[in-house]
Structure 1
Amino acid sequence: MLKKMTNSSLHNLVKFFETAGRLKRTPRAGWIEIGIRQPESVADHTFRTSILCMIYADMEGLDQLKLLRMALIHDLPEAITGDLTPSKKTKESKEREDAAIKQILDLLPKKQREKYLTDWNEYQEGKTEEAKAVRQLEKLEMALQAKEYEKARSTGQSLKRFIKSAEKAVTRPELRRLLSCILEERQR
Structure 2
Amino acid sequence: MSEDQDAAGAVSFIFEAGVLKRAARTGWWFAGVKQPESIADHSFRTALIGMMLAAMEGADPARVSMLCVLHDTQETRITDIPHIAKRYLTAVPNTTVTADQVAACPPAVADLITAAVTEYEAGESREAVVARDADKLECLVQAVEYRHQGIDNVRRWIDSSRAALRTASAHRLADAALAGQPLAWLSPPQQPE
Question: How does the TM-score come out when normalised to structure 2?
Answer: 0.86
Q: Say how many residue pairs are matched.
A: 182
Name 2:15's counterpart in structure 1: 18
What RMSD in Å do the two structures reach over aligned CA positions?
2.1
Name 1:115's counterpart in structure 2: 112
SS at match of 1:27: coil
Once the two structures are superposed, the pairs formed by residues 85-96 of structure 1 within 5 Å of their partners are 85-89=82-86, 93-95=90-92
- Take 1:44 and 1:66, find their aligned partners in 2: how far apart are those partners? 19
- Take 1:152 and 1:140, find their aligned partners in 2: how far apart are those partners? 18
SS at match of 1:107: coil
Asked if the contact 1:81–1:96 (Cα under 8 Å) also holds between the matched residues in 2, the reply is no
Name 2:46's counterpart in structure 1: 49
Show CA shifts across 1:17-73 (max 9, x none): 100010001100111232202110000000000011122223433112211111011
Name 1:84's counterpart in structure 2: 81
* Cα 1:119/1:65, change in 2 over 3 Å: same
- For the pair 1:151 / 2:148, whether they are aligned, the reply is yes
Asked if the contact 1:136–1:171 (Cα under 8 Å) also holds between the matched residues in 2, the reply is yes
Query: Partner letter of residue 86 of structure 1?
Result: H
Asked if the contact 1:25–1:41 (Cα under 8 Å) also holds between the matched residues in 2, the reply is yes
Q: Which has the higher helix share?
A: 1
Asked if the contact 1:30–1:85 (Cα under 8 Å) also holds between the matched residues in 2, the reply is yes
SS at match of 1:26: coil
- Take 1:107 and 1:8, find their aligned partners in 2: how far apart are those partners? 8
Gap regions ≥5 residues in structure 2:
185-193
Query: Partner letter of residue 3 of structure 2?
Result: T
Query: Partner letter of residue 79 of structure 1?
Result: T
Name 2:99's counterpart in structure 1: 102
- Shift, 1:151, TM fit: 0.6
Query: Partner letter of residue 171 of structure 1?
Result: R
Show CA shifts across 1:126-162 (max 9, x none): 1111111111111111010001011111x3x410000
Q: 4+ residue stretches of structure 1 with deviation over 3 A?
A: 90-94, 96-99
- Shift, 1:90, TM fit: 5.8
- Shift, 1:84, TM fit: 1.0
SS at match of 1:106: coil
Query: Partner letter of residue 172 of structure 1?
Result: T
Name 1:74's counterpart in structure 2: 71
Asked if the contact 2:57–2:169 (Cα under 8 Å) also holds between the matched residues in 1, the reply is no
Gap regions ≥5 residues in structure 1:
none
Name 2:124's counterpart in structure 1: 127
- Take 1:11 and 1:115, find their aligned partners in 2: how far apart are those partners? 17
Name 2:160's counterpart in structure 1: 165
